[in-house]
Structure 1
């Protein structure tokens, strides 16, 4: 319903044409979705996360995507605790 708060953190994905053709973009999106699912518990319940895939994501392995996502979240969450 409109106006209701989400039950937890949410994630969205931006995977543009520079990543590859449609098949590659969908594969990257599926891999990122799986990686984000593992990381969501680290985020505050009200968080909205947008993951933008760079062109290199088209040839990256799932492990590389997970590693890069975790490193990015480490930086963001560290900055958040420093500024609190």
Structure 2
């Protein structure tokens, strides 16, 4: 389970991450990452910790499969939250193949997507996610 301060809950936060963030697609999942430079709701400009949310549709499988995929993704993201910049919004969207994928395959795809987002960040283009 993700700690409360690391969970995306509001629809607006999901929309911000998906619409305004960077995206990295893999065969089993798509990761959307949006980095906030300042938080207008926090005095002093201190950024909150990175927050993550998950989208697992019925295309992944029945409720048992969807919940299994969500649990696996939550565990994987929890281990990687410290690598994400403060204030980040992360949405991990499972694709249909994730329902039949092993834990290790999900981990490889998640790591590859995060590496790609990090590589894009350090490529020097403006408006991209930075650490």
Unaligned runs of 5+ in 1: none
Q: Tell me the number of residue pairs that the alignment of Structure 1 and Structure 2 aligns.
A: 82
Structure (1 or 2) with the greater strand fraction: 2
Structure 1 counterpart of 2:117:
76
Higher RCO structure, 1 or 2 (CA under 8 Å, sep 6+): 1
Structure 2 counterpart of 1:49:
90
Q: What root-mean-square deviation, in Å, do the aligned CA atoms of Structure 1 and Structure 2 show?
A: 1.5
Q: Describe the SS at the equivalent of 2:86.
A: coil
TM-score, scaled to structure 1 = 0.90
Unaligned runs of 5+ in 2: 1-40, 126-131
4+ runs deviating over 4 angstroms: none
TM-score, scaled to structure 2 = 0.59
Structure 2 counterpart of 1:32:
73
Structure (1 or 2) with the greater helix fraction: 1
